[in-house]
Amino acid sequence: MQTNRSPLWVLGGAVVGFALPFLGMACVAAVCLFSLAGASGLASTGVSQNQQHISGPTSGPAVAVIDIDGEIVSGSSGTIGLGSSYAVSGDIIPLVQQAASDSEVKAILLRVDSPGGSVVASDEIYHALKGCGKPIVVSMGELDASGGFYISMAAQYLVANPNTLTGSIGVISEFPEASQLMKNLGVTVAVIKSGAVKDMGSMYRPMTDEEKALWQKVIDETYHSFVQIVADGRHMSTEQVLPLADGRVFTGRQALALGLVDALGYEADALAKAAALGGIKGTPRVIHLAPPALSLVSALLSGQISQSLLPGNFLSDLLAPKLEYRWTGQ
């Protein structure tokens, strides 16, 4: 029997069946929140304050705190699904630009807790930080790996918790391959293409050795860029970095011994260093810069969340091959 459903929809049937109870619960919760919004006025604003005073004087020279929290992705927070933690380049770069243009901000404290993610997003954030013209200090949280570590190379000083996991210098791409599953489901895919490798990485067939070799060249080129970024950021030679750049993670103590961070400590230590590099005397004013928060109600009304949760869109995003600076241990 012929069908006009795409193979992704067929493959997604089991996922949808499993997820339906949870989606139902989410819809009930959304309706409840929508009702509450009428009384609270939540739907009328949908935006939180961009800048929040954390500590110190209420005016004068400041250290701006910016978070790199979660998987690093391109886009903006309005295009990201519900309930996930992401460091979104389209949100973070404006914060860096805001700190750069504020004459009272003398330094940036970058709090990083991320396994990395998109190669492009990591590079965009890195270059925004490098061009901001302000001293940058990194305070590493639980994890500052791969793309997170790449971004951290824009800083003048790196502070790691002794138990932070950091490093994971490397590049990865994963290509889901479901040809056997499709065969078992009785689904075949006709591919009309303009060149022999136009469908390289397709989930509907295994990759050939020649295709793997082609993609390895892409990986190698991106990898060498990462190694050079680390060499520049840590004032090391590429020969010193290469033995450390096999994808492994290091504890904060190990990273210090290898020259990948400058000190072991905590956020207060990183803040004090940022204030000193910014030339701030005495207790610094500390402000937190964060992207405007899109409320659940606003997102539902705009259709942003609902579109991201559609099975076809969800599976396309999940299964699409990506070029990533990402530690796969998380």
| Integer Cα distance of 30 and 286 in angstroms | 35
273: annotated active-site residue: no
146: annotated active-site residue: yes
- DSSP class per residue in 137-189: EEEEEEEEETHHHHHHTT-SEEEE-TT-EEE----B------HHHHHHHT---
What are 18's two structure tokens? Answer: 């499993």
Q: Which residues pair with 105 in a beta bridge?
A: 62
| Integer Cα distance of 294 and 78 in angstroms | 7
What's phi and psi for 111, nearest 5 deg?
A: -95, 115
Nearest CA among 146, 122, 127 for reference residue 245: 146
| Integer Cα distance of 178 and 49 in angstroms | 46
| Integer Cα distance of 141 and 160 in angstroms | 7
Catalytic: which of 40, 48, 198, 316?
Answer: 198
Catalytic: which of 118, 146, 168, 202?
Answer: 146
Helix axes 311-319, 7-40, angle to 10 degrees: 120
* Amino acid making up residue 292: P
Nearest CA among 323, 291, 289 for reference residue 77: 291
What are 66's two structure tokens? Answer: 């910016």
Enzyme catalytic residues? 146, 198
